[in-house]
Amino acid sequence: MEGKYVKELGEGNITMLMFKYSVPTIFATIINAAYNIVDRIFVGRACGEDAIAAITVCFSPTLLLLAVGMTIGVGTATITSIKLGQKKYDDAEKVLGQAFFLFVVFCIGVALYMLNFMPQTLMFLGATERILPDAVGYYSIIISGLIFEKISFGINNVIRAEGRPVYAMATLLIGGITNVVLDYIFIFKLKMGVRGAALATIMAQACGTIWVLWFYLGGKSFLKLRLRNFRIFAPLLKSMLSAGSPSFVIQFLTGLAVMVFVQQARNYGSESALAIIGVNTAVITFMFLPIVGISMGIQPIVGYNWGLQNYLRVRNAYINAILAGSLVSIAGFLICQFGARLVFEIFLGADSHIADDGVYSFRIVTAAFAFISLNIITSGYFQSTKRPIFSILITVLRQVILLIPLLLLLPKYFGITGVWLSYPISDFVAFVFSAYIAVRELKRINRRYDRQQRYFGFFFFCFYEEA
């Protein structure tokens, strides 16, 4: 018998379902992301600007590794939603077991490489000789606990796909709160510096991993984690990679853009510019997470009803997400513009010599923040309907065709200001393109729904006449 949480995806009120799935996801991702904010506040206050710069250099490889993790996690969740909608429960359990297997293999391979080539990799990604020791010390610990991050975040997507957003929220809450507490102990009480921040992170992720495993091994899940499924299933792997490829492209290109961002800041600025980027990226990531939460929250609803070919519910979920995301992005824009100085005072203190430059950069980088939600929501929508090419196209336009060339070109004429200008220009152009794609998709859904109604109307008419 189909679980009540799964069945609800096809029958419950769309607005209430969106609220049920998105709000816990938003709340949890914000709390979870708070540890990045707290990490950098604690490090900035206790260790100074160079320590923030060292952590900033580690951000782009983290995003690059997250690209693979999200390919597995989000791809698995998407296929799980579709298989549940099709009532193919055995296939859904195979996809789950395969995800665990892939995470283990991936983390072992990455750890073996990074622990042997850490200094060379971080220097290439933007580190300077001055901040390299802190960067290596921080990231060596992060890589050692990589498996905890992949399971606690990646498999958590599948819990949400099962119709259990509150439990999925708890996973992120456990990790985020634990991280903040351990940050304070390791950095301020034990004086462990950036290594303390890294140790707090992996220990918090380990707690999240235990919570995820308890869900599947403690009899709480609808899908079961079976040892026989800990292997690769070629057809399901292909479907998972296809469904998860937008997440890979999105995160990989984001990581690539951050890498170029850091390198150009180093070339046209200094360690101070890297510290400014560290504050900017932490706060901006925190600000757009509610939009990501909305996008992630509707994906089980959209994926399940797409599998059922219930296009009216798919359309309504998509429109509701666009409206909610727009409100969040506009509010975020206002907060970023009017709260820029407060942000840098919190991270570095009111007497920091880079505060004025930081406020200047922050206001430029977030100048088009009000327009970013449509890009994120639309990309997630196409991913959940298993049409990755459109999701990839939206992301490639912003990150490859626009942002990276602008990061390389504008600083030649405007110096470090050109680095900051690259973001709002690419954000606005991507918004225009996403709006065009969204309008076309809504018209397409309406046509599919109209055809369904004509078919069912004809069937009912024939049945009525025969009776």
* pTM for the model: 0.71
Closest by CA position to 387, among listed 450, 322, 444, 452: 444
pLDDT tens, 174-208? 888 888 899 889 988 898 989 998 999 899 999 99
Q: Are 183 and 196 in contact (CB under 8 A)?
A: yes
pLDDT tens, 38-59? 777 888 878 878 888 888 888 8
Q: How many domains does the chain have?
A: 1
The domain in which residue 14 lies consists of 4-466
Is the pLDDT at 151 greater than 80? The verdict is yes
Three-state DSSP at 225 gives coil
d(CA 289, CA 281): 12
What pLDDT, on the 0 to 100 scale, is given for residue 458? 43
pLDDT tens, 119-149? 998 988 888 888 899 999 999 999 998 889 8
What pLDDT, on the 0 to 100 scale, is given for residue 199? 93
Q: Are 143 and 110 in contact (CB under 8 A)?
A: yes
What pLDDT, on the 0 to 100 scale, is given for residue 101? 92
d(CA 147, CA 143): 8
Which pair of tokens denotes residue 73?
Answer: 């996690």
The C-alpha R_g of the chain, in whole angstroms, comes to 23
Taking the alpha carbons of 376, 379, 382, 384 in that order, is the dihedral positive or negative? negative
How many other C-beta atoms lie within 10 A of the C-beta of residue 65? 22
Per 3-state DSSP, what percentage of the chain is helix, strand, and coil (rounded to 5)? 85, 0, 15
The answer for residues whose C-beta is within 8 angstroms of residue 354's C-beta and 6 or more apart is 49, 272, 275, 276, 344, 348
Which pair of tokens denotes residue 183?
Answer: 């940050």
Residue with tokens 């290596």: 136
CA 285 to chain centre: 9
Residue with tokens 């010599």: 353
pLDDT tens, 360-393? 999 999 999 999 999 889 988 887 787 777 877 8
Top mean pLDDT of 17-31, 61-75, 109-123 is at: 109-123
pLDDT category, 454, cuts 50, 70, 90?
Answer: low
Taking the alpha carbons of 40, 46, 48, 51 in that order, is the dihedral positive or negative? negative
d(CA 178, CA 206): 10
